[in-house]
Structure 1
Amino acid sequence: MAAVHDMMAARTGDAPTGEDTVELARRHLVQPWPTAGEIGAETRSLIGEGEGIYITDSDGKRLIDGPAGMWCVNVGHRREELARVMYEQAMQLSYNTPWYTMNEASAVLAGRIAGHAPGDLNQVFFTTGGSSAVESALRFMQFYNNVRGRPEKKLILSRGGAYHGSTYLSASLNGRPRDRDWMDGADDLVIKLSSPDPFRRPAGMSIAAFADSLVAEFEETVKRVGAEKIGAFVSEPVQASGGVIVPPENYLPRIRNICRDNDILYVSDEVVTGFGRLGHVFASEEAFGIEPDIITFAKGVTSGYFPLGGMVVSERLLEELRRSNHPTAMYAHGLTYSSHPVGCAVALKNLDLLEGGLLAHARAVAPYFQARLKTLEELPLVGEVRGLGLMACVDCVADRESRNPLELDRNVGMRIDAHCHELGLLVRPLINMCVMSPPLTITKEQIDDMVSILSEGISRTMDELRKEGVWQG
C-alpha cells in the first residue's frame, strides 16, 4: 500500500489520473491469461466509461464495443434500470447465506428462467459465472452417477475448438489452441472429439458428409470406450471463443439422440448463446432443435452488471435422485455467492428488458448484421465470415485455397484490433480471427459504422503484412 499512498499523496488528494492507474496496474494487478514473460507487469487498454454500445478509453476516444465486454453486455452500457435495482436490492438485503437461508429474488428468477428453458428443465442452481456453472454441471453428473450406483460412468466428451471455463474441470474440456499448452487438466476424465468446423472440413468433402463423419466419430467413440463409462457430453451450440463455429445443420440433434440412447447426459453450454445473443433466452431448442439434460448459463443473464451464472437441470434427473436408495447422499457443492440476492435482482430486471423488446430487436437486426459482415469476404485476407444471431467471426487466412492461418503473423487479429481501436472500434482478437458480438441494442446504422471501420482495419493490416513480407495476398 505504500506505493499507492505515495502516488496518491503526490497528487495532493486528487483522483488518480490515467497514468496513475496504469502504473498501479503495472505494479500490482495480475491480468487474466498473461504470458510468463509479462505476468504481473502487464497493462492493457484502460476503459473509463460506457454508454449504449460505446465505451470510452483513457484518452477520451469513443469506441464501439464490438465484443459487448466479453459476450456479455447484452442490454448495453449505463442502463439506469439495472443500476437502480442493484442499489435498491443492496439496501434491502445485500447478502444471505445460501447454506440455510434463501432470498425472494433467487426464487422468482429461478421460476422465470425455468419458464424459458426447453422440455422438463425446471430446476435452477445459481453460481457466480460460466466456469462455475460448467463445473457445477460436471460435479452434478458425478454425483448423479455415484448415487445411481455407477461410479465408473464419469468420462466427459468434449470437442476441439471448445471453451468451457477456467476452473480445473471446466478448463479440462477446452480444445482451443494454446489453452492447455502449459496448464494441467483432468486428462484422464476427458475425451476430445473433432471440432464441428465446416470451414476447415477435409478438402472435397460436402458439409453433409462432414456432419456424417462427426456423428460417426461420436458413435464409434461411445462404442469403443463403452457407454457405461461416459457420463456427459458438453457442447456449446455455437463454439464462441473457438471462433464462432456454427455446426452443420441437424448435427446437434443427431448427437442428442445418441446421448439419450446411451444414457449420456447432454450438457448444453449456453454461457454465450443464452439471454439474447441468438435472439432467444435459450437457443438450444429454438435455434438447434434440442432438449438437453442440463443448460449452463452466465454472462448475458445480468448483461455483465453483476457476476452470476447457473445451470438449469432436468426434472427427471432430480426425480431419479429423490427416488434413489441413498436419500442422505449429499451433492456437496455450493458457493458462498450462490443465489446472490443482488445478482438475482439484476437478472430479473435484465430479463424484463430482454422480454420487453430486445429479444425481438436482436432477431430483427441479426440478418442485416450477418449480411453486412459477410461483405468483408471481398478482402483477400479474409477466408470466411461466419456467424449466427448477433455473434460473428472474421477468419483471416494465408490463402483461401489452403484455408491455413498458420503461415500468417500469429498476431494478425491483434493488428486488426489495434487499427480498429484507432478508428473507433474494439474487436475481440483471437490469433488469426476477429470476433464481433455487440450489445443487442445495436442499430443498422451502427452496424454500418462497425463494418466500415473493420474493413479499413483489415485493409491497413493487409498493407502492413505485405510491406513486411509476411503475406503476399
Structure 2
Amino acid sequence: MAAAREIKAREMVDAGGDDAVELAKRHLVQPWPYAGSVGAEARALIGEGDGIYITDASGKRLIDGPAGMWCINVGHRREELARVMYDQAMALSYNTPWYTMNAPSAELARRIADAAPGDLSHTFFTTGGSSAVETALRFMQFYNNVRGRPEKKLILSRGGAYHGSTYLSASLNGRPRDRDWMDGADELVVKLSSPNPFRRPQGMSVPAFTDFLVDQFRDTVARVGADRIGAFVGEPVQASGGVVVPPDGYLKRIREICRENDILYVSDEVVTGFGRLGHVFASGDMFGIDPDMITFAKGVTSGYFPLGGVIISERLLEELRRSNHPDALFGHGLTYTSHPIGCAVALKNFDLLEEGVLQHAREIAPYFQAQLKTLEELPLVGEVRGVGLMACVECVADRESKDPLQLDKDVGKRIDAHCHELGLLVRPLINMCVMSPPLIISREQVDDMVAILREGISRTMDDLRNEGVWRG
C-alpha cells in the first residue's frame, strides 16, 4: 500500500512538476526572497509526506528534519486528522466569529486552559504565530488604555529573537538580516541581549552571564521607566535564532522583575508549545514560569491547518471587567478567528499528543540530543545545543574565536545541499543547521538523521578546504 502511494505521488509530481516550477517562477512570490530574485524563483518541490519523511520532485525520500517549519509534530499523513477535516467541513465549514460561534473552538479553549500554567484561562484564536503575537501586543495596548496608562506601551525584546512577520511582531525580531531592509515600529521596542551562553563574553562563566542578563534587564527597566514598559516578549527557547536555550533560572528571574514592575510577560510558545519539548506548554512544565499571556501556533494542529492563538490571564480579564470603561471596545478580530475546521483538527491533534506522542517525545529527547552532540567531534562544529526535539549545529571557522565563517555565510546551505542528496532535509540558518523532526521519530531514524548530517558536514568541510575558504 505504501509503495503504491509513493508511485502515485511520484507520478503526480512528474506530471505537474515541471509546470509547477515554471508557474512558480512566473507567478509565485516566495517568502523571504531577495530583491534580485523576487517573483522569479522556484524552490524544492515536495510531492508527498508520510510519517517523518517527505518525497521531492525526483522521487527522493527525505527525512523531514525541520518537521515542515517546526510544526509537523505528529507526522505526515495522519488519517485521523484528514478525516476530522473532512467531517467538520461537511458539518460546518465556516461561521462568522463577529456574531456567531462554533462548538469546536469552545471545547479547544477549555482544553488549552486545562493545560496552561497559572491562571491562563481564555484563548483568542488567530491564523498563525505572527497574528498570535500581534494579538497579544494589541491586547497589551488595549489593557493599558482602559486602565488609564496610555504611556505604558513599550515592548522589551531580545537579540536573536524571532516573533513573526506582521508589522508589530516583526518589530521585535532580533536576528541578523531580518530587519536590514524592512521597516518596523522601532519607537515601541527596546532590545536586550540574547541569552545565548555560547556567545557570552570570553572569560565569563555561565552563572556570571546569567547575572549580567538579569542586571541588564533590571537596569533597562530603571532607565526607561516601568511606567512606560507594557510587556516583555520572549521565547522560552529562541528557535529561529539558533535554538538558544537560556541559562538555568534566567526566565524565572526575568518573570519576577516583570511582576515587580507590572510589566506583562508574554511567553512566545509558537515553536515550543504542543509537544516540541515534550509538553503542551513548556513555560510552566519545563521553566517554572506562569506568564500573563502565552502565544502558540504550529504544533497546535501539527501543521495540518493554519491556527494559532494567545492565552490570556484571568487576572487581566477581570481587571478589564472591573474598570471604569465597560464600553471600551477591543477592536481586533480576524475573519478566520476560531475557525471550526482548524479547531476541530486541533482537538484531534490534542488527543494524539496526549495518547502517547508527548510521552514518546520526552523519552526519545535525551537520545536525540546525545546523538547529535557527537557531531562536535567534527572540527567545523563549534557547538551542538538543544532541548527536547529541537537542536542546532553551529559551525565556526575556529572554536577559539567562535568566528561564524565570515568568508562563507551560506555554510548552512552547503550542508543542506549535501544532506538533500543523501536523504535529509535540513533547516539552514547562515552558519547553523537546525533540526526539529516530527515527534514520532524512532531511535533508528535518529541514527539515520545524524549519520547523514555527519556526512553532509564532512563533505562541506572538504569543499571549504578545496576552495581555500577554511583550513580546519
2:129 alignment counterpart:
130
Separation in structure 2 between the aligned mates of residue 182 and residue 470 of structure 1, nearest angstrom = 28
Separation in structure 1 between the aligned mates of residue 355 and residue 365 of structure 2, nearest angstrom = 18
Q: Is the 8 A contact 1:238 1:246 kept in 2?
A: yes
User: What amino acid maps onto 1:391 in structure 2?
Assistant: M
Sequence identity, in percent? 81
Deviations 1:405-438 (A, max 9, x none): 0424111000000000000000000000000000
1:384 alignment counterpart:
383
User: What amino acid maps onto 2:466 in structure 1?
Assistant: K
Separation in structure 2 between the aligned mates of residue 15 and residue 393 of structure 1, nearest angstrom = 34
User: What amino acid maps onto 2:323 in structure 1?
Assistant: S
Counterparts of 1:308-387 in structure 2, within 5 Å, are 308-387=307-386
Separation in structure 2 between the aligned mates of residue 286 and residue 15 of structure 1, nearest angstrom = 46
User: What amino acid maps onto 1:348 in structure 2?
Assistant: L
Q: Is the 8 A contact 1:408 1:432 kept in 2?
A: no
3-state SS, counterpart of residue 294 of structure 2: strand
Separation in structure 2 between the aligned mates of residue 17 and residue 226 of structure 1, nearest angstrom = 58
User: What amino acid maps onto 1:228 in structure 2?
Assistant: D
Deviations 1:363-418 (A, max 9, x none): 00000000000000000000000000000000000100011104241110000000
Separation in structure 2 between the aligned mates of residue 330 and residue 162 of structure 1, nearest angstrom = 31
3-state SS, counterpart of residue 192 of structure 1: strand
1:418 alignment counterpart:
417
The total of aligned residue pairs comes to 461
State yes or no: 1:77 paired with 2:66: no
Q: Extract unaligned runs of 5+ from structure 2.
A: 1-12
1:9 alignment counterpart:
none
Deviations 1:252-299 (A, max 9, x none): 000000000000000000000000000000000111110000000000
3-state SS, counterpart of residue 186 of structure 2: coil
Counterparts of 1:53-202 in structure 2, within 5 Å, are 53-202=52-201
Separation in structure 1 between the aligned mates of residue 38 and residue 295 of structure 2, nearest angstrom = 31
Q: Is the 8 A contact 2:424 2:452 kept in 1?
A: yes
3-state SS, counterpart of residue 435 of structure 1: strand
User: What amino acid maps onto 2:412 in structure 1?
Assistant: G
3-state SS, counterpart of residue 288 of structure 1: coil
User: What amino acid maps onto 1:379 in structure 2?
Assistant: L
Deviations 1:154-199 (A, max 9, x none): 0000000000000000000000000000000000000000000000
Q: Extract unaligned runs of 5+ from structure 1.
A: 1-13
Change (3 A) 1:128 1:37: same
Separation in structure 1 between the aligned mates of residue 448 and residue 359 of structure 2, nearest angstrom = 22
Separation in structure 2 between the aligned mates of residue 27 and residue 169 of structure 1, nearest angstrom = 31
3-state SS, counterpart of residue 268 of structure 1: strand
3-state SS, counterpart of residue 100 of structure 1: coil
Separation in structure 2 between the aligned mates of residue 287 and residue 405 of structure 1, nearest angstrom = 30
3-state SS, counterpart of residue 231 of structure 2: strand
3-state SS, counterpart of residue 63 of structure 1: strand
State yes or no: 1:40 paired with 2:39: yes
1:399 alignment counterpart:
398
Q: Is the 8 A contact 1:398 1:408 kept in 2?
A: no
User: What amino acid maps onto 2:28 in structure 1?
Assistant: L
Q: Is the 8 A contact 1:383 1:399 kept in 2?
A: yes
Separation in structure 1 between the aligned mates of residue 229 and residue 320 of structure 2, nearest angstrom = 19
Separation in structure 2 between the aligned mates of residue 49 and residue 408 of structure 1, nearest angstrom = 36
State yes or no: 1:248 paired with 2:247: yes
1:220 alignment counterpart:
219
3-state SS, counterpart of residue 18 of structure 2: helix
User: What amino acid maps onto 1:25 in structure 2?
Assistant: A
1:472 alignment counterpart:
471
3-state SS, counterpart of residue 319 of structure 1: helix
State yes or no: 1:454 paired with 2:453: yes
Separation in structure 2 between the aligned mates of residue 15 and residue 238 of structure 1, nearest angstrom = 40
Separation in structure 1 between the aligned mates of residue 288 and residue 131 of structure 2, nearest angstrom = 26
1:303 alignment counterpart:
302
Separation in structure 2 between the aligned mates of residue 313 and residue 381 of structure 1, nearest angstrom = 44
Deviations 1:312-362 (A, max 9, x none): 000000000000000000110010000000000000000000000000000
